[in-house]
Amino acid sequence: MRIALFITCFNDTMFPETGKAVVTVLERLGHTVEFPLAQTCCGQMHFNTGYRPEALPLVRGFAKAFADYDAIVTPSASCAGMVRENHPLLAQQYGDAALRAAVAEGAPRVHEFTELLVDVLGVTDVGAYFPHRVTYHPTCHSLRGLRLGDKPLALLRAVRGIDLVELPAVDSCCGFGGTFALKNAEISTAMLGDKMRNVVSTGADVVCAADNSCLMHIGGGLSRLRTGIGTLHLAEILASTQGDAR
């Protein structure tokens, strides 16, 4: 199976360690990961902010960059959702027949990282070791978009040494919402405050999630308040082993 990594523009620029972790885990499981250098961005920010025509070149670019792979894995639930749900919609609305066909063919092959592990590869124990108290925040796109259910938790539960604690009000949005955080900054902050209150109450050392964008928002608040609680993409926990100094 040819697996391509779609790193996402955000992780590429801000959180390269998450991409390296995805590669580490998949290679540990005996797979080869390829990285099509032509990839850039799925256009989620444009689409969600109302700039649909501006997203179209990105839809086109994605379809071209990932045309030749059996599975496309991405460490972002929201970008996976964008490609699977909204690329077909944009291709329908603005694209030509060739683009519509390419998107219809390619979009279903996109898997969020935990989907690939659990649904496609049938693995929950990836041989990880992470001796810390961790709480998991299901991002809205994981929970209600992709319906990841307990796949992330099944993977986390199999991690050696982990002390996994449940987050209160686990299904409430953290308040990030992409450009919502800028357009409605005060409401975003109010929601962040409640999310942080719940995170702090768990006594966790680390909050993890399937999306670094929500984590950058939550982590940004936790850092500003000097809570000492860190954020880490789930893939980076799954990549950790006994030998790591973490």
Partner 1 sequence: MSPDSGTNVVWLGSPGFPEAAHTALGDPQLRRNLRKATTTIRDKRLAVTGELDDWEQLREAGAATKRHTLRHLDRYLLRLEDSVTKAGGVVHWAADAAGANRIVTELVRATSAHEVVKVKSMATQEIGLNEALEQAGIRAYETDLAELIVQLGDDRPSHILVPAIHRNRAEIREIFQREMGAWGRPAPDGLTDEPRALAEAARLHLRDKFLRAKVAVSGANFAIAETGTVGVVESEGNGRMCLTLPETLITVMGIEKVLPLWQDLEVFLQLLPRSSTGERMNPYTSTWRGVTPGDGPQAFHLVLLDNGRTATLADTVGRQALACIRCSACLNVCPVYERTGGHAYGSVYPGPIGAILTPQLVGVEHAATLPFASTLCGACYDACPVKINIPEVLTHLRAEVVEAKRAKRRVPGAEALAMKAATAVLASPRRLSVAQKAAALGGRLVSCKDVIGPLPGPLHAWTDARDTPAPPTESFRAWWQRTHPTGADS
**Would you say 39 or 135 has its CB closer to partner 1?**
39
Q: Which of 236, 151, 246, 232 is nearest to 199 (CA)?
A: 232
**Would you say 71 or 216 has its CB closer to partner 1?**
216
Residues 138 to 197 in contact with partner 1, rule: CB under 8 A:
140, 143-145, 171-173, 175-192
Q: What is the dihedral of CA 138, 81, 18, 63, to 10 degrees?
A: 180
Stretch that binds partner 1, among 33-41, 127-135, 156-164, 198-206 (CB under 8 A): 33-41
Q: Say if CB 64 and CB 38 are below 8 A apart.
A: yes
What lies within 8 Å, CB to CB, of 210 at 6+ separation is: 75, 76, 77, 112, 113, 114, 138, 139, 142, 148, 152, 233, 234
CB of 62 to partner 1, least distance (A): 10
| Residue 59, CA atoms < 13 Å, CB-side half-sphere | 33
Asked if residue 54 binds partner 1 (CB under 8 A), the reply is yes
Strand order in the sheet with 206-209: 163-165, 133-136, 206-209, 230-233
Stretch that binds partner 1, among 56-64, 107-115, 127-135, 150-158 (CB under 8 A): 56-64
Q: Which of 90, 135, 84 is nearest to 112 (CA)?
A: 84
**Would you say 188 or 240 has its CB closer to partner 1?**
188
Fill in the per-residue mask, 78 to 117: x = in contact with partner 1 (CB under 8 A), - = not in contact: --------x-------------------------------
- Which residues contribute to the site for partner 1 (CB under 8 A)? 7, 9, 11-17, 19-20, 32, 34-41, 43, 45-52, 54-55, 57-58, 61, 86, 140, 143-145, 171-173, 175-192, 216-217, 219-221, 223-224
